């Protein structure tokens, strides 16, 4: 286990609703990245937060937003849920400036009905 | 799009070496090669990375060709617990985004 925790583990929402996913980074890590992994695909980068500021974003619409808190934990918010948002959402943390040895949490499985 | 090409699947006998290839012909001089793996229903796990020299750690060895256009991840004595999807990633970002491709699904068989 990496020390990165995510909550909840599973979540079911209906189309149009909003969802908040949470991530606690590994101790000593100030950078958090979020990824979306659809079934049978590799993870896709959503965005990254470094010291509470967004530090890079992938090809995701603005209804995907995030926050990082002073303790470096993070939230991913998704508004106006669509069926295609059903996926495993992964959080990864690392020390800022370090090489890409990112430590991943177990993920949150989101199902949109 | 991912900048690497990997075979979609491979089999390996338990106790034998697993050699996973990766092509990255467009790699630039400041890009590193990273390997991660993802065991079913878990988050990806970092394995190893390198720039141009071969690297070894307690999990695996990474062999990078002299022209850096391809690499091979070697698991010296594969076990059933090594069954996973293995991702080869090239990136110059330090602590930045990782672009995952489809990976190689390695099945280690008794």
Exposed/middle/buried for B10, CB within 10 Å: 0-12, 13-18, 19+? middle
Query: Is pLDDT of A100 > 80?
Result: no
What is the distance between the alpha carbons of residues B103 and B69, in angstroms, rounded to a whole number? 17
Closest Cα partner for B21 from B98, B79, B106, B100? B106
B50 touching chain A per CB within 8 A: no
Using an 8 Å CB-CB cutoff, list residues of chain A that contact chain B. 2, 4, 31, 33, 35, 41-45, 48, 50, 55-56, 58, 90, 92, 94-107
A7 φ, ψ (degrees, to nearest 5): -145, 150
Q: How far is B94 from chain A (nearest CA, A)?
A: 5
pLDDT tens, residue by residue, B28-69: 888 899 999 999 889 999 999 999 989 999 999 999 999 999
pLDDT tens, residue by residue, A49-64: 988 999 889 999 999 9
Element (H, E) at B84: strand B84-91
When pLDDT is cut at 50, 70 and 90, the band that residue A83 belongs to is very high
Contact status, residue A95 vs residue A81, Cβ threshold 8 Å: no
**Chain-chain contact of B44 with A104 (C-beta, under 8 angstroms):** yes
Closest Cα partner for A85 from A12, A24, A32, A23? A12
B91 touching chain A per CB within 8 A: yes
Q: How far is A98 from chain B (nearest CA, A)?
A: 5
**A&B contacts, CB < 8 Å:** 72
Average pLDDT over residues A91-99: 79
**Chain-chain contact of B44 with A43 (C-beta, under 8 angstroms):** yes
Residue count of chain A, please give it.
113
pLDDT tens, residue by residue, B58-98: 999 999 999 999 999 999 999 999 999 999 999 876 667 88
Residues facing A74 on adjacent strands: A23, A68
Most A-contacting residue of B32, B95, B98, B101 (CB-CB within 10 A), to test interface:
B95
B44 touching chain A per CB within 8 A: yes
Of A44, A45, A98, the CB nearest to B94: A98
Average pLDDT over residues A59-84: 96
Q: How far is A41 from chain B (nearest CA, A)?
A: 6
Cα–Cα distances (Å) from A83 to A36, A59, A80, A113, in that order, read: 14, 18, 10, 6
When pLDDT is cut at 50, 70 and 90, the band that residue A69 belongs to is very high
- All residues of chain B having their beta carbon less than 8 Å from the beta carbon of residue A92 are 43-44, 98
Beta strand B9-13 with B104-109 is parallel
When pLDDT is cut at 50, 70 and 90, the band that residue B2 belongs to is low
């Amino acid at each position: 286990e990496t020390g990165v925790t995510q909550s909840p583990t599973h979540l079911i929402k209906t189309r149009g609703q909003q969802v908040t996913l949470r991530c606690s980074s590994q101790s000593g890590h100030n950078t958090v990245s979020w990824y979306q992994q659809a079934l049978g695909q590799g993870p896709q980068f959503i965005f990254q937060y470094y010291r509470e500021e967004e530090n890079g974003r992938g090809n995701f619409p603005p209804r995907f937003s995030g926050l990082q808190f002073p303790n470096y934990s993070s939230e991913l918010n998704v508004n106006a849920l669509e069926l295609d948002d059903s996926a495993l959402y992964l959080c990864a943390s690392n020390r800022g400036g370090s090489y890409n040895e990112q430590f991943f949490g177990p993920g949150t499985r989101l199902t949109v009905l | 799009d991912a900048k690497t090409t990997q075979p979609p699947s491979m089999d390996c006998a338990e106790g034998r070496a697993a050699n996973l290839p990766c092509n990255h012909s467009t790699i630039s001089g400041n890009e590193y090669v990273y390997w991660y793996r993802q065991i079913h229903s878990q988050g990806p796990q970092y394995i190893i990375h390198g720039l141009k020299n071969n690297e070894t750690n307690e999990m695996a060895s990474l062999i990078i060709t002299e022209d850096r256009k391809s690499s091979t991840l070697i698991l010296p004595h594969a076990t059933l617990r090594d069954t996973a999807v293995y991702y080869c990633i090239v990136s110059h970002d330090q602590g930045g985004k990782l672009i995952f491709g489809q990976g190689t699904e390695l099945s280690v068989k008794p």
